[in-house]
Amino acid sequence: MMGGRHFLSENSDAVHHVLTKHIAALDKTLQLKALCETLTIGVLKSEVSKTFAQSRLMEARVQDEKDGMFQNATTEVEDAVNRMLLDLETMIRRSMNQIVTTMEQDYTGLIGTAATEADKRDRKILQPVLDEFYKSLVFALNAEAEAEVVQDADMAYNEDEGDGEEHSLYDDE
């Protein structure tokens, strides 16, 4: 009877140790996700505001010119806005890639620290769960970033129109 208690006590400590390590890793992953969201939202708001402010300035200059030149200048403004949006998308993708790389390094470091036989056994059990969590986190981060780019750009476009009607960047006019 005493041997059974001793066995439970040893396993309880090992399970507690493994769970504590993995909870700490999940906490770090959640902190990285929050950092990613903060960076993405801040960058998007700043770049979209700057892009549309520059667009308005260019349009104001164009309206001072002759009517015949207005169409060409409008095309230039649209091209400039499109280039800025492409630059913004590239910058966001780079930031996301850096964050994902950091997460991968932390994730690899966590898995690589399993040195004892008990940790190796636990790793075999927990590895698929951690892999699936990591994949879903990366997918969610990418989806959120893409949705916010479209939403913020559409909102800024509606503010720029100023006629009280809802517009979309994707309306065919």
Judged against a pLDDT cut of 70, whether residue 45 lies above it is answered with: yes
C-beta separation of 51 from 88 below 8 A: yes
Judged against a pLDDT cut of 50, whether residue 173 lies above it is answered with: no
When the pLDDT of each residue in the chain is averaged and rounded to a whole number, the result is 70
Average pLDDT over residues 46-75: 71
Res 1: pLDDT: 45
What is the DSSP code (8-state) at residue 90? H
Q: How far apart are CA 117 and CA 59, in angstroms?
A: 68
